[in-house]
Structure 1
Amino acid sequence: MKTLSNGISIIEKSLAVVLMFSMAVIVTMAVFFRYFLNSPLSWAGEVSIFLLVWISFIGGSLGLKYKSQASVTILVEYVSLSVKRILLIIGHLLMLMFLIFILYYSYKWVLSPSVGFQKSSAILLPMWIPFSAVPIGLTFATVHLLANLLDILREGDAK
């Protein structure tokens, strides 16, 4: 599971770099065209929003991979190692249950006919493409969370 998580994170990092660079270029072009050429790009706002959504879900997944998400750790800092391990396992299991619940409905939503035939307003992009950020990002996050949970469980076996 760790190798799968590491492989996904390489893909996510590469994709995040490309998406962020693309978004920076598009926003810069939009500003240039609007204020210097007086000819705004009608599609730039829509595309930058779609890119931001994809970056957010990929970044959230990477945050779970590297355990860099925001958290309140005051309780965990003042308990023994065995209680800390139990709390971490419970937290990971709760997050996994939540992700599986959301994954089910996000795949159901993206694969629904209403999304399949919907198009964006400016560039007429099929909306399943930007909406796919949700199930794909959450699938990657689930893999990372499972790998982290297995690491926690293995640490206990090693002690």
Structure 2
Amino acid sequence: MKYTQTVSDVIYKLEKILVVLLIPTMLIAMVFDVIFRYFFSAPIVWGQEVALYTFIWSSFIGASMSIKSKEAVAVTLFVDRLSNQVRSVMITGGLLVSTIFSLYILYLSFNWIINPNILLQKSITTQTPMIYMYLCIPISLLFMSIHFINLSFEALKLTKAGKVIE
């Protein structure tokens, strides 16, 4: 339990650093692309590609961060009307199902990423291997799975104590 908390916290700090680097990179690439395209009439080839890939990476990493910070989108209309004991069991069950689902999708993403067709793909404009772009899926799912495992342990501990994870 303590180990998963520590690992989850370290990953969250790494995610924050990644997002702090990725979003300004995306902004700079977009600004350069606009300046060169409209002011110099000489579009840069890599601008849109860098902006797109940094946006995708930051979105996937941000999704993982939302799990850790407990800010992921959830519909709680039904669960909020339940007693604390039943709500705790429902939330814990949902976290366990989410953990299993994210681990399964992580497994599928690893199988997909090692496919030779994926390994040979290159981006259109810069001819960068697409594996760098596609790696955001298994990496973010790995991070997400670790956060879900940590939250599941926390929810199980609180349920045993008669409390509800918030």
User: Aligning the two structures, in what range does the TM-score lie when normalised by the shorter sequence?
Assistant: over 0.9
Which structure 2 residues correspond to residues 21-32 of structure 1 after superposition, within 5 A? 21-32=24-35
**For 1:31-110, what aligned pairs fall within 5 Å after superposition?**
31-110=34-113
Are positions 1:135 and 2:146 aligned together? no
Q: Secondary structure at the residue paired with 2:33?
A: helix
- Quick one: distance in 1 between partners of 2:17 and 2:26? 14
How far, CA to CA, are the matches of 1:105 and 1:147 in structure 2? 21
- Structure 2: runs of 5 or more not aligned: none
What SS does structure 2 have at the residue aligned with 1:74? coil
Deviations 1:95-130 (A, max 9, x none): 122212211111111111111111111111111110
| Identity rate, percent | 33
- Structure 1 outlier segments of 4+, above 2 Å: 156-159
Say whether 1:17 aligns with 2:32: no
RMSD: 1.0
> How far, CA to CA, are the matches of 1:5 and 1:34 in structure 2?
42
Q: CA deviation at 1:43?
A: 1.6
2:75 maps to a residue whose letter is V
Q: Normalization by structure 2: what TM-score? A: 0.92
Q: Under a length normalisation based on structure 1, what TM-score does the superposition of the two structures give?
A: 0.96
Contact 2:11 2:143 in 1 (8 A): yes
**Structure 1 unaligned runs (5+)?**
none
- Whole-angstrom distance in 2 between the partners of 1:96 and 1:4: 16
CA distance in 2, matches of 1:76, 1:40: 52
> Take 2:87 and 2:80, find their aligned partners in 1: how far apart are those partners?
8
Number of equivalenced pairs = 159
Residue 120 of structure 2 is matched in structure 1 by 117
**Residue identity in the other structure for 1:64:** I
